[in-house]
C-alpha cells in the first residue's frame, strides 16, 4: 500500500513538472506508436514523450525493468558525428576525456566544461574508425549545437580538419533490463556476449541495416541503446516488443527517472549544471588521468585545485525512511535548523521501498551517516529526517569485461 501511494504521488509531481514547460513541441518517430499503446504523453524539453503507459504504473514499470526488460524511446536526444583528421583533439579540447586512449568501438562518458569548471552537458563519445559518435541531452540540444559549431569554426580558422554533423533522421531506443540482450540477440548475427559495457557495434538488427548497438544505458541494468534510421524505428520497436524470448514492455520517462536515481546517476539540469563542477557533482572519476596530467581542458585550474580537496560543496545521496519524498528545490537543514543545501532530485524507491534523493551540502557534512533534515514545505513546519548515504542506492548490473579477459 505504501509503495503504491509513493509511486502515485511521485507520478503526479513528475507529470505536472514536465507539462509546464512552454516551447514548440516536436514528435519523435514513435509518437503515434506510443499513443496507440496507451502512453500518457507530456512535453519534455520541447518533445512529446511518454511518461507512463496505461498497462502499468510508474512503480510497476520500474520493477519490470529491474526484473525483465523494458523499451524506452530516447529519440529526443542529440546524436552527433564528428569527422576529420583532428576530431580526437577537437573533442578533447572541449571535454575531460581521454579520447585518444579509447580503443576503436569503445565509448566514454564525459562532460563539456566551461572556463569556470562548470558542466555544460554530459555526453557519451564512441570512437569509430573514421569518426566519433556523440550522444548528448535533449535539454541541451541548441546549446550543444552552438557550442560545437562555434568551436568547430575556430578550429577551421586555424586550418584544423574538423567536421561536425547532426544526422537528421535517426531514432534512439534504449532496451534495458536483465533480459534485454536476450531479445536483441535474436535479431542480430553478431555475438552480443562479445559486446561489453561501453562498447559499440554497427550491424543489422532484424534485417534493418545501419543500426548502432551500444551496450550502455541510464538505468543501472544491463542493456543496449540502438541508434536506427527514423523510418525503421517503429518496425524495430515492434519486433523487440513482440519478442517471445522475454517479458517485454514499453516504459516512459517516469520509470526512467526513478531507475536512474536508484542507480545513482545524475540528471543534467537538476543534479549538475554550469555552476557545478565534476568534483562537486561526484564525477571526478570522469577526469582522465592523462587530462589531469596535461591540465588542458576548460576550467582545469578550478577543477585541478578542487581535486586536491579544496571543494566547498558536494553532491550526496540521501535516504529517508519516513515522511514525504524530498523533491528538487527543497531545503536541507542541519541539526540547528540552518539551511545548508538543496535537494536536486528525489523520489520513492520502488526497490528499496523508502525515499531516496540527491542534494548538495557543505563538504564537512558529506560523510556517509551524517544526519540532516529536509524542509518539505519551505516554512520549517514539516521536516523530514534524512541520512547521507552511498550512491548508487542499488547495485549496478553492467556487463563488464573481466580483468582476465582484457
- Please choose, from the candidates 9, 1, 2, the residue with its C-alpha nearest in 3D space to the C-alpha of residue 258: 9
Other beta carbons within 10 Å of 292: 16
Distance CA 350, CA 369 (A): 22
Q: Which residues are annotated as a binding site for substrate?
A: 225
Residue with C-alpha cell 540527491?
358
Distance CA 97, CA 99 (A): 6
Distance CA 194, CA 181 (A): 11
**Residues with Cβ within 8 Å of residue 256, at least 6 apart in sequence:** 72, 174, 218, 219
Starting at the edge strand found earlier in the chain, the sheet holding 163-165 runs 107-113, 119-127, 132-136, 78-83, 163-165
Q: Which residues are annotated as a binding site?
A: 225
Contact by Cβ (8 Å): 133, 81: yes
**Radius of gyration (Cα) for the chain, nearest Å?**
21
Amino acid at each position: 500500500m505504501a509503495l503504491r501511494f509513493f509511486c502515485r504521488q511521485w507520478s503526479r509531481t513528475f507529470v505536472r513538472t514536465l507539462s509546464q514547460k512552454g516551447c514548440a513541441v516536436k514528435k519523435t518517430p514513435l509518437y503515434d506508436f506510443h499513443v496507440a499503446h496507451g502512453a500518457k504523453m507530456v512535453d519534455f524539453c520541447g518533445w512529446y514523450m511518454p511518461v507512463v503507459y496505461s498497462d502499468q504504473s510508474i512503480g510497476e514499470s520500474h520493477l519490470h525493468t529491474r526484473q525483465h526488460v523494458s523499451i524506452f524511446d530516447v529519440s529526443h536526444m542529440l546524436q552527433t558525428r564528428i569527422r576529420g583528421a583532428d576530431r580526437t583533439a577537437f573533442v578533447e579540447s572541449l571535454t575531460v576525456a581521454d579520447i585518444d586512449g579509447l580503443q576503436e568501438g569503445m565509448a566514454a562518458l564525459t562532460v563539456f566544461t566551461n572556463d569556470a569548471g562548470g558542466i555544460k552537458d554530459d555526453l557519451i563519445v564512441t570512437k569509430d574508425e573514421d569518426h566519433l559518435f556523440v550522444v548528448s541531452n535533449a535539454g541541451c540540444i541548441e546549446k550543444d549545437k552552438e557550442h560545437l559549431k562555434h568551436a568547430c569554426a575556430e578550429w577551421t580558422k586555424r586550418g584544423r580538419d574538423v567536421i561536425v554533423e547532426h544526422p537528421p533522421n535517426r531514432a534512439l531506443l534504449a532496451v534495458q533490463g536483465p533480459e534485454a540482450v536476450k531479445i536483441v540477440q535474436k535479431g542480430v548475427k553478431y555475438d552480443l556476449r562479445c559486446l561489453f559495457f561501453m562498447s559499440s557495434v554497427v550491424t543489422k538488427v532484424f534485417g534493418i541495416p545501419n543500426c548502432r548497438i551500444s551496450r550502455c544505458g541510464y538505468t543501472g541494468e544491463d542493456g543496449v541503446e540502438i541508434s536506427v534510421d527514423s523510418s525503421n524505428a517503429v518496425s524495430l520497436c515492434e519486433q523487440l516488443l513482440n519478442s517471445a524470448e522475454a517479458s517485454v514492455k514499453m516504459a516512459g520517462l517516469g520509470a526512467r527517472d526513478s531507475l536512474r536515481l536508484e542507480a545513482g546517476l545524475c540528471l543534467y539540469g537538476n543534479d549538475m549544471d554550469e555552476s557545478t563542477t565534476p568534483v562537486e557533482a561526484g564525477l571526478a572519476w570522469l577526469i582522465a588521468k592523462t587530462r589531469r596530467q596535461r591540465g588542458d581542458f576548460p576550467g582545469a585550474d578550478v577543477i585541478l585545485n578542487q581535486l586536491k580537496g579544496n571543494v566547498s560543496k558536494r553532491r550526496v545521496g540521501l535516504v529517508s525512511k519516513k515522511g514525504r519524498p524530498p523533491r528538487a528545490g527543497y531545503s536541507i537543514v542541519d541539526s540547528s535548523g540552518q539551511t545548508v543545501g538543496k535537494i536536486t532530485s528525489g523520489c520513492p524507491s520502488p526497490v528499496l521501498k523508502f525515499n531516496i534523493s540527491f542534494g548538495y551540502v557543505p563538504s564537512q557534512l558529506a560523510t556517509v551517516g551524517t544526519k540532516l533534515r529536509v524542509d518539505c514545505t519551505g516554512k520549517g513546519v514539516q521536516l523530514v529526517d534524512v541520512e547521507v548515504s552511498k550512491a548508487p542506492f542499488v547495485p549496478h548490473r553492467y556487463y563488464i569485461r573481466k580483468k582476465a579477459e582484457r
